[in-house]
A and B are shown apart, each in its own frame.
Chain A
Amino acid sequence: VLAQSPGTLSLSPGERATLSCRASLSVSSNFLAWYQQRPGQPPRLLIYGALTRATGIPDRFSGSGSGTDFTLTISRLEPEDFAVYYCQHTETFGQGTTLEIK
C-alpha cells in the first residue's frame, strides 16, 4: 500500500510544495515513480527511480527518499503545477494528492 499525504495541499504560486508517499513495506527505489495529472488529461511521468526527472520535466521538480518514505518537491510553484499527483511502485498507485491554488 502507498499512502500519500496530504490529501489536499493549498499553496500559492511561487511557494514550495512537498508531497509525501509512504509505503507500508520497504520498496525498491528503482521502481518508485511520480505522475502529474491535470483535469481531462492522462497522467504525465515526472520522476522515475525515485529521483530521476523524466524527459522534458522542469528542474523545479525533484524526487527523493528510500525504503518506505518518498518525497516529491516542487521548488517554486507555477500556475500549471496545480494538479493531482500520484506516486507509484510497480503495480500500486497511491491515492493521490491534490495541489490546489490557495
Chain B
Amino acid sequence: QVQLVQSGAEVKKPGASVKVSCKASGYTFNDYHIHWVRQAPGQGLEWMGRINPRNGATNYAQKFQGRVTMTRDTSISTAYMELSRLQSDDTALYYCARIRGGIAYDFDHWGQGSLVTVS
C-alpha cells in the first residue's frame, strides 16, 4: 500500500533552517509529484510547493520563494523540504502529499505530518 512516512518533530531557534523528509513506499516514486502543505496550530492548509521526482523540477509558492528548497533522492524514494530563516510564525505541522495521478492537483495520500516548532 502507498505510504508516506515523514521525519520526526523538530525544535529550532529563530533564524535557523529545518529539513523535513518524506519517504515513499508502495508505488513508483518517480511517477507522482510530491507537494508540501503546512498547517499552523488551529489554522487551515497552506500550499508551499511541489517537486517532480522524475527530474527534480520544482515550483514554489511565491510566499516561500527564496526560503524553501525541495529536493529528492530517487535511490531511497525520499523527498525533502528545507525551510530557512525560520521565524515563530513558521511553527506548523508540515505535510508531504502525493498527487492522485497525471496532471491532478489533488492529493490522495498524505504523510503523517512533521511538527516544526520555532522558539
Interfacial residues, chain A to chain B (CB-CB below 8 A): 31, 33, 35, 42-45, 48, 54-55, 86, 88-96
Contact = CB atoms under 8 A, between A and B. Distances in A.
Interface stretch (B9-17, B66-74, B82-90, B102-110): B102-110
A43 B95 CA distance: 10
Given A91-B47, A92-B47, A95-B44, A42 B112 contact: yes
Contact of A96 (B44, B47, B97, B100): B44
Interface of B: 37, 44-47, 61, 95, 97, 100, 104-108, 110-113
Given A42-B111, A45-B100, A48-B100, A94 B44 contact: yes
* Residue picked from A45, A55, A92, most chain B C-beta under 10 Å: A45
B108 A86 contact: no
Contacts of A86: 44-45
Nearest to A54: B108
Contacts of B100: 45, 48, 54
Contact of A33 (B95, B106, B111): B106
Contact of B106 (A55, A88, A95, A96): A88
Contacts of B46: 93
